């Protein structure tokens, strides 16, 4: 077995152990909730009711784990229609079994079971439509117990709100149904069943919210993709485990996202300097591989947004877009899903910016510059920024050479001198507005980090007309033209890019 296969097997084993711990730990809050409900009502629940309650929560936990993903779901409901239906059916069945187990020997247990089915269905619809299956990785990594404890109040509040809405909605629906799910509201038993149903529904939703939170805490914890420090592998090839996970794992898998998280933390922090030093090895192959895996998602984003909104540099395209009515404007909906992968774009952007900035002092062999990675990084970040800004409706127009000359001999340009069309205005107020602005902010910060680190060199290159040679590739950009990238870079160099 090769070193890469061994490293993947080791990390995959870590993920399997996380899943097993999740299944074990999820039974603890469920048991505590069941026991608390017992103490507040009647202590005469049979053991089979307790086991049925735990089994139903285990069913919910398994299906929740099957739809959870770090990659943004493509469909409105979830990853796929089949998984969405599976989760909805499991949630409805789990809720029906849980409510029936808590109802004990009620003469209206069939009604309560059907009500539980409605409660579970409503919860699953809310969960899927709000994309709660998407795993968000915390910026600050805390111990699992502390993270779980911090999420208890919000989980309880959300469970209370959902249980109230679902309880009222299911109650109204049940009253519209004929026998056997309907009975007189004047009986004492009716009010007792209402109280029992609400307490049980809150207990079920609280158990599910805690399960969801526990799953998030355990599966977003950082994994270290590196051999033990001081081992032979750490001395010879400390980056192979990480690169193997980045290059060979499924692009939408949790393993790939954990690898990007680990890479980002290595490059941005100073706790693993020995691992970052391994990126700057003499041949330069490791550095080029690291840069390539980080630029690939950004290149994909720029390409997709370019396809969706068109290239504003083409005058014919500009004119045709201005003549379109707002309803015929460039199809945003087809491409907005790309913006929901914000955490991956942020990791990649910050990683290449940090590596490029660190290379000024840590790159003893000059591999970042000699390999052309510096120019590739800056060009990709600029192209991606222009594509995102164009998607938001922000126009970037090329200026004539006479307009670009500043008093210090540096060419300047104003980025917002162009006219914003009606379609762009509509996009600016769309539902993905915050996502696009967040990605643009990360890209700007990353470019400024590089400019700040190499400001003196860039300034000298600009005066000698060598800026574009060292920092912008000669190939056709992913979005815009090479002249637009140079103009944008000069704005950053003068700290006027906003």
C-alpha torsion 400→401→402→407, nearest 10: 130
Residue 468, by phi and psi: left (phi above 0), alpha (psi -120 to 50) or beta? alpha
Share of the chain above pLDDT 90, in %: 40
* pLDDT band (50, 70, 90) for residue 216: very high
- Please say whether the dihedral angle defined by the alpha carbons of residues 372, 375, 377 and 383, taken in this order, is positive or negative: negative
Arithmetic mean of pLDDT, 49-59: 88
The 3-state DSSP class for residue 213 equals helix
Q: Contact 375/473 with Cβ under 8 angstroms?
A: yes
Angle at 437 (CA atoms; ends 470, 442), nearest 5 degrees: 40
Distance, CA of 449 to CA of 440 (rounded, Å): 14
DSSP state of 69: B
Q: Name every residue whose Cβ is closer than 8 Å to that of residue 462 and which is 6 or more positions away in sequence.
A: 410, 411, 490, 493
Domain boundaries, the chain: 3-219, 292-493
* pLDDT band (50, 70, 90) for residue 334: low
**Omega prior to 237 cis, within 30 of 0:** no
Distance, CA of 239 to CA of 266 (rounded, Å): 11
Q: How many residues does the chain have?
A: 498
Reply yes or no on whether the pLDDT at 148 is more than 90: yes
Q: In this structure, what token pair is assigned to residue 343?
A: 């955490």
User: What mean pLDDT value characterizes the chain?
Assistant: 81
Direct distance between the N- and C-terminal alpha carbons of the chain, in angstroms, rounded to an integer = 51
pLDDT in tens, 105-122: 455 567 777 888 899 999
Angle at 235 (CA atoms; ends 230, 239), nearest 5 degrees: 110
The 3-state DSSP class for residue 139 equals coil
pTM here is 0.85
Q: Contact 116/163 with Cβ under 8 angstroms?
A: no
Reply yes or no on whether the pLDDT at 127 is more than 60: yes
C-alpha to C-alpha distances, 466 to 368, 471, 495, nearest whole angstrom: 17, 9, 19
More confident residue, 425 or 295: 295
More confident residue, 88 or 419: 88
Q: Looking at 57-61, 259-263, 308-312, which range is the least confident one?
A: 308-312
Position 289 scores a pLDDT of: 95
Distance, CA of 277 to CA of 238 (rounded, Å): 9
Q: Contact 493/458 with Cβ under 8 angstroms?
A: yes
Position 442 scores a pLDDT of: 96
């Amino acid at each position: 077995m090769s070193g890469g296969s061994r490293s993947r097997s080791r990390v995959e084993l870590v993920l399997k152990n996380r899943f097993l711990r999740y299944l074990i730990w999820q039974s603890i809050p469920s048991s505590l909730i069941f026991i608390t409900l017992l103490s507040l009502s009647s202590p005469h629940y049979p053991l089979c009711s307790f086991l049925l309650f735990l089994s139903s929560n285990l069913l919910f936990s398994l299906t929740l784990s099957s739809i959870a993903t770090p990659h943004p779901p493509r469909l409105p409901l979830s990853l796929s229609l089949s998984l969405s239906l599976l989760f909805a059916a499991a949630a409805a069945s789990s809720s029906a079994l849980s409510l029936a187990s808590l109802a004990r020997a009620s003469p209206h247990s069939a009604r309560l079971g059907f009500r539980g089915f409605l409660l579970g269905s409503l919860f699953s619809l809310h969960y899927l439509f709000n994309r709660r299956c998407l795993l968000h990785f915390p910026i600050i990594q805390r111990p699992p117990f502390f993270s779980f404890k911090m999420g208890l109040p919000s989980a309880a509040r959300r469970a209370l709100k959902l249980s109230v809405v679902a309880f009222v909605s299911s109650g109204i629906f049940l009253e519209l149904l004929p026998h056997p799910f309907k009975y007189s509201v004047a009986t004492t038993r009716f009010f007792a069943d209402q109280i029992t149903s609400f307490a049980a529904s809150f207990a079920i939703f609280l158990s599910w919210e805690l399960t969801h939170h526990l799953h998030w805490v355990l599966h977003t914890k950082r994994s270290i993709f590196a051999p033990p420090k001081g081992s032979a592998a750490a001395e010879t090839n400390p980056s192979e485990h990480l690169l193997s996970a980045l290059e060979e794992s499924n692009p939408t898998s949790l393993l790939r996202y954990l690898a990007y998280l680990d890479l980002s933390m290595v490059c941005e922090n100073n706790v693993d300097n020995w691992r970052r030093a391994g990126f700057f090895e003499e041949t330069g192959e490791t550095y080029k591989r690291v840069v390539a895996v980080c630029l690939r998602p950004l290149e994909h984003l720029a390409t997709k947004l370019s396809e969706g909104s068109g290239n504003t540099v083409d005058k014919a395209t500009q004119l045709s877009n201005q003549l379109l009515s707002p309803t015929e404007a460039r199809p945003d909906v087809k491409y907005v899903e790309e913006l929901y992968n914000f955490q991956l774009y942020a990791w990649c952007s910050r990683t290449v910016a940090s590596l490029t900035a660190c290379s000024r002092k840590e790159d003893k062999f000059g591999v970042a510059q000699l390999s052309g990675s510096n120019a590739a990084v800056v060009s990709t970040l600029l192209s991606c920024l222009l594509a995102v800004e164009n998607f938001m409706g922000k126009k970037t127009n090329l200026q004539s050479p006479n307009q670009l000359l500043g008093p210090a001999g540096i060419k300047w340009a104003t980025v917002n001198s162009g006219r914003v069309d009606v379609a762009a205005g509509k996009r600016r107020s769309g539902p993905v507005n915050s996502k696009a602005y967040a990605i643009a902010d990360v890209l700007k910060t990353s470019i400024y980090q590089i400019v700040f680190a190499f400001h003196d060199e860039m300034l000298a290159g600009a005066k000698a007309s060598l800026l574009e040679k060292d920092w912008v590739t000669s190939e056709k950009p992913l979005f815009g033209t090479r002249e637009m990238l140079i103009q944008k870079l000069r704005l950053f160099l003068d700290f006027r890019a906003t």
